[in-house]
Structure 1
């Protein structure tokens, strides 16, 4: 792909543009702390009353799971695809001692918010933290720029997983690793998109795209990545997420149907790793 093509972002899908732009999902109370993910609740006591600190820990722990799988990260260059407000980038700098972290997002408003939220950190860590606009399918970086690529709960929005995989393979140095956390259907049964659209507004309106987990594992393999594996972690995501949602949403409302889709073996949450 010529360099000029990599420099321009493809157009955003309308619901992605709205949700992460004017609607500012990160400002919603359910995403306390600025992270935009469902959380990894394994270390949280779900039998005790949940507070904001528990919620933020669940989100941080999801990042830690992904960063651990992409590691070791000491003195290496890390790229986050779909960085949102950059909270994961800041956590990586704080806890993993990388040489540098780049947060990439397709949405210019998200990048503005990230630069504002981390203005002091950007000043202190000049050369170690940066934010860049780019799409998962067209990354504005040279070949072999990074030692590790991570993406946390963004791949469900990517319109072209094959292009994402190819770009990931391109920007990774030989021996580099990629770790992705996102939710996918458990199989490629043809009725899955319709089932999810009937249960969840985010699939009905096109924000999330219904695809089997094999779509991303096969894309990584086709792109030349090796040691590709997918680990289901739904038991540590969906019950805690549903319990947190119960503070604001009643049983039977569409946000509570993520757990229902998991229990019906339609949807699960996965960690996908490749080298």
Structure 2
């Protein structure tokens, strides 16, 4: 299924500097803000934010975000699933253990992340030979054959992708006819031209280029232009931002830049979405 570079111009894109630094020596999945092997803001529906939040609730929120996306991708039993931006592979493990797919492939652009994923998921790799694997690739240059997957998912990685049109085109290519894609990430809430400047002033991750400010319509339109159909966007901000901010309050005081994620949401600058689409049969 994996394709070799034949020298036809599909070279591996360079890793953006902020992505290389953030996901290189540091293992964010074991930082206290993340923990549990996941690197996402969490889906906090059903978690009591008024009560004490511990590591168990935090891990549960991150697992719930992955499950929300896996559910959105449709029934996955006996299907071949690609996770784009898989990080430590913990979401791949959730998919493999709970959804009964034929196989799960985790893809990441950062070799350090892939090395950690193989270490973190060593038991599953040994116990499920052929059903779990990891491969290096960029969202805009996937090293997989046409129609290789029944479902493509991506959890909180698209905010880093430099080229959403390239990601959409590659997603359409590697999906089989009838296959589905489900992506969750944060995007600007509208197409106002000053949103990038506003977010750079509020959030360090936008100022340093780690996150890219684009409206959710940019991804939806890219999927449509790539030939995918039934493109839908849904805000899940109410179940993400208040919980994330409550969790951050353990380390960050009001007015510090990480707490500005909630501020940007409340000011209708930023929101969190699930975007789904289907490759026509």
Q: Same fold (TM over 0.5)?
A: yes
Between the aligned partners of 2:17 and 2:268, the Cα distance in structure 1 is: 29
Corresponding residue for 2:240?
Answer: 237
Per the TM alignment, residue 25 of structure 1 is displaced from its structure 2 partner at its CA by: 1.9
Q: Is the 8 A contact 1:6 1:138 kept in 2?
A: no
Q: Is the 8 A contact 2:5 2:11 kept in 1?
A: no
Alignment partner of 1:119 out of 122, 126, 129: 122
Q: Is the 8 A contact 2:165 2:222 kept in 1?
A: yes
TM-score (norm. length: structure 2): 0.96
Q: Is the 8 A contact 1:66 1:150 kept in 2?
A: yes
| Matching of residue 193 in structure 1 with residue 204 in structure 2 | no
Query: Which runs of 5 or more residues in structure 1 are unaligned?
Result: none
Runs of 4+ in structure 1 displaced over 6 angstroms? none
TM-score (norm. length: structure 1): 0.98
The SS at the match of 1:228 is strand
Per the TM alignment, residue 101 of structure 1 is displaced from its structure 2 partner at its CA by: 0.1
Q: Is the 8 A contact 1:66 1:179 kept in 2?
A: yes
Corresponding residue for 2:64?
Answer: 61
| Matching of residue 14 in structure 1 with residue 8 in structure 2 | no
Q: Deviations over 1:83-109 (max 9, x none)?
A: 000000000001000000000000000
Corresponding residue for 1:45?
Answer: 48
Between the aligned partners of 1:207 and 1:171, the Cα distance in structure 2 is: 26
CA change 1:57–1:64 in 2 (3 A) is same
| 1:1-275 matched pairs, under 5 angstroms | 4=6, 5=8, 8-275=11-278
The SS at the match of 1:227 is strand
Between the aligned partners of 2:274 and 2:61, the Cα distance in structure 1 is: 15
CA change 1:112–1:165 in 2 (3 A) is same
Query: Which runs of 5 or more residues in structure 2 are unaligned?
Result: none
CA change 1:154–1:11 in 2 (3 A) is same
Per the TM alignment, residue 26 of structure 1 is displaced from its structure 2 partner at its CA by: 1.9
The answer to which of 150-159 and 115-124 deviates more is 115-124
Per the TM alignment, residue 242 of structure 1 is displaced from its structure 2 partner at its CA by: 0.1
The SS at the match of 1:55 is helix
Between the aligned partners of 2:4 and 2:172, the Cα distance in structure 1 is: 16
Between the aligned partners of 1:78 and 1:13, the Cα distance in structure 2 is: 26
Per the TM alignment, residue 8 of structure 1 is displaced from its structure 2 partner at its CA by: 4.0
